[in-house]
Amino acid sequence: MSIAAKQEAAGLDVEKALHMYRGMVAIRAFEERANDLYTRALMPGLAHLYIGEEAIAVGVCEALRPDDYITSTHRGHGHCLAKGAVPNLMFAELLGKEAGYCKGKGGSMHIADPATGNLGANAIVGGGSTLATGAAYASKMLGQDRVAVCFFGEGALGQGVLYESMNLAQLWTLPVLYVCENNMYCEYTHYSETTAGDIPSRATAFGLASETVDGQDVRAVHAAASKMVERARRGDGPGFLLMNTYRFRGHHVGDIARDYYRSKQEEQRWMADRDPIAIFGGWLVSEGLADKGALDRLEKEVAAEMDAAVEFAKNAPYPDAQRVDEDVYA
């Protein structure tokens, strides 16, 4: 069967698959450019890259509607893009420009956008957990069927408010999904030094449905998320997904000398064997749903789009200093 024929046979799923592939490639390309902007001292603040974890944001957000909600973290570029943010306004925000999503007031750690249901990246670890729960609460009270997804790193398992949130969500059967990205490190500390017991039990103890997923496999992520999202949307209550993954880079761009907390070999093993883009690309090709050439072309397209977005952001002006007093009060 030709690729076209196979694609036709697979129908809508192929479109979705290619959309997810493109989404992961876009995040990777975005983050590479953020890295570059940062190292060239064009991006102020800190840059926490999502490279290596793309399958999670993409697989989960592919299961969401545009009007569904997400909350994100300090490592939030991937979630924001996957939920529909456009790269030029994101880069502009990363550079602190007036054209950015938050008029330059938020920066990398605070991208927010009502139009795509993005309640905001959040620089307080665990900070999104109550916000997502609250959006789910509003959805239910307003008789909507919008679902809220709370993305967080396994570090947030240390914040008690997460348990308060899960308890409320389960008590009130709220349409919220807690997605724990266990990339094995909180900053410079291995999660085994910070996490006693067993992660999924921390959700099932409160009665939540829970599943553990290979976070490098976008198909697995998407399948699990779809199930949980539909369940929540139906009114069957909150869910918890433990995503096992890995942060390919440092905690932030400046975190270079990392041997004191993790080995080069470990990093290389993950990058070689467990790259979510390579895994999914390989699958697409082996299933005959796309050929290497097409994927390469897609990557080039994305690269061009990202380069243009970077140019847009670089050329965009900073906000006037007097804007500082605006937007404090609504």
Ligand X SMILES: Cc1ncc(C[n+]2csc(CCOP(=O)(O)OP(=O)(O)O)c2C)c(N)n1
Residues lying near a second copy in the complex (CB under 8 A): 157-164, 166-167, 170-171, 193-198, 201-202, 204-208
Other C-beta atoms lying within 10 Å of the C-beta of residue 15: 11
- Please work out the total of residues on this chain that contact another protein, with binding judged by CB under 8 A: 79
CB of 11 to another protein, least distance (A): 34
Residue 160 makes contact with another protein by CB under 8 A: yes
Q: Pick from 72, 73, 108, 183 the residue near Mg ion by CB under 5 A.
A: 183
Beta carbons of 249 and 54 less than 8 angstroms apart? no
What are the helix (H) ranges across 205-263?
A: 218-234
Beta carbons of 174 and 133 less than 8 angstroms apart? yes
CB of 152 to ligand X, least distance (A): 6
Residue 110 makes contact with another protein by CB under 8 A: yes
Partner whose binding site includes residue 23, from another protein, Mg ion, ligand X, none (CB under 5 to 8 Å by kind): none
Residue 37 makes contact with another protein by CB under 8 A: no
- Please work out the total of residues on this chain that contact Mg ion, with binding judged by CB under 5 A: 3
CB neighbours of 183 closer than 8 A, spacing ≥ 6? 52, 53, 153, 154, 245, 246, 247
Residues 84-103 binding another protein (CB under 8 A) are: 96-98, 100-103
Q: What is the dihedral sign for C-alpha 80, 36, 269, 18?
A: positive
x-or-dash string of contact with ligand X, 90-129, rule CB under 6 A: ---------------------------------xxx----
Residue 112 makes contact with another protein by CB under 8 A: yes
Strand order in the sheet with 148-153: 69-71, 148-153, 176-182, 239-244, 209-214
CB of 315 to ligand X, least distance (A): 31
Distance CA 153, CA 74 (A): 9
